[in-house]
Amino acid sequence: MKRLSVIIPVYNAREHIQRCVDSILPQLKENDELLLINDGSTDGSIDIIKKIEQQYDCVRVIDKPNEGVAKTRNLGIIEAKGEFICFIDNDDYVDKEYFETYYNEISKGKYDLVMGGYKRVTDHKVLFKTNPIQSFWYQLMVVAPWAKIYRRQFLLNHEISFLDYGIGEDNYFNFQVYTKTNRVSIINNTGYNWWFNDASISNTNQRGFNENIDITKLLDRLFELSGNKKPYNYYYVRYVIWYLLFSGKKSNVAQFMKEYKKGIQWLKVKNISVRFPVFSESIKGETLKNRCLINIFILFHRMKSVKIFASIFCKG
C-alpha cells in the first residue's frame, strides 16, 4: 500500500494544470502517487498530463469520457492505492510542505479527517484567507474536499461518495464524513491556494438559477444525514439564503421569488425556524459580515418584503 494518493480531476485545464502539478511533485515521497483523471477534456489537457506521466514514476493518468467532477472523484477514491487521500482541483496549487503537514497530523492522531484553511488567490495576489477555527461550525463552512486529508479505508468502509448532481456534491460528501466520525482534527494551515478562475465551473455554474437544479433535492439528501438539530438547522437556513444571494443576482424577480418560496417551504416542512443567531457558540467562526447579511435577508422575509428586496437585488 502506498502512503498518500493525491487525486486531481482534470477537465479543460491546459492553462493551469502544469502549475498545479509543479506545486505537488516536489513534495511527494517515494511511496506516494499523483492520480490525474482526465474527464473528457477537449483542450489538449490529456496530452499535457500524459507527458507528465512519462516523466515521473509516481504519476498515473486515467483517461475517461466526460462524466462530471463527482463521478471523477469517486473513481479516484476507488483507484487510489494510498492509505490517505488528498483532493486538489486542477487550477489550484499548494504551498511547500503542505502534504507533510497534513500527513503528520492524520497519522499521529489516528484521525479519519484532518482539515485546514485556504487562500483565495489570483495573479499572485491573496484575495482573502480563511482562519481555521476549532469549532464544528467551521467544518460546515469549509465543505470543499480540498484543504483536507482523508483516511481512505474510512471512506470505503462507510461507502462515502460524492453526489452526482449539479450542486452540492462536496457538501454531501463531507456531511457523510461528519455524521460518521468525530475523529476530525482542524489545523492552523492555509497552504491550499484556491485559484480565482472567472471561467471555472464553480464561478459560472450558479450564475442565475439553473432550471435543471432543484435545491430541495440536495437539502433532502443532507437532511437525511443530519436531521433537524443545531447547528445543522442554522446551516440549512444559511444555505438557502446564500443560494438565493449567490445564484439570484443574475436572475429576474420572478425566478428569485420562485426559488425563495421553494427554499422557505422546505424549511417549513422540516420544521426549521428561519433564524440565524448573530452571537452564538453554535456558529463559532462565522464572520460578522455574513451574520449581518443573513439577518438582513431574514428581516425582509419576516416583513414579507422579499419581493422588494429582489426588485433591487436581481439584475437578470
CATH number of the domain to which 149 belongs: 3.90.550.10
Which band of pLDDT confidence, cut at 50, 70 and 90, is reported for residue 229?
confident
Pair 301, 223 in one domain: yes
Given pLDDT bands bounded at 50, 70 and 90, which one contains residue 123? confident
Strand order through the sheet with 59-64: 59-64, 32-39, 2-10, 82-87, 148-151, 113-115, 184-186
> Which residues, other chains included, contact 206 with Cβ-Cβ below 8 Å and sequence gap of 6+?
167, 243, 246, 247
In-domain check, residue 95: yes
Owning domain of residue 286: 215-313
Based on the fold, state whether residues 285 and 222 are members of the same structural domain: yes
> Which among 173, 199, 225 is the end of a domain?
199
225 in the same domain as 194: no
Is the confidence at residue 30, as pLDDT, over 50? Answer: yes
d(Cα 259, Cα 268) in Å, to the nearest integer? 14
- The answer, as to whether pTM is greater than 0.85, is yes
Q: Count Cβ atoms within 10 A of the Cβ of residue 243 and give its class: 0-12 exposed, 13-18 middle, 19 or more buried.
A: buried
Given pLDDT bands bounded at 50, 70 and 90, which one contains residue 199?
A: low
> Strand, helix or coil at 8?
strand
- 150 and 245 fall within a common domain: no
Residue 208 falls within a domain, yes or no?
Answer: no
Examine the pLDDT at 175 and tell me if it is beyond 70: yes
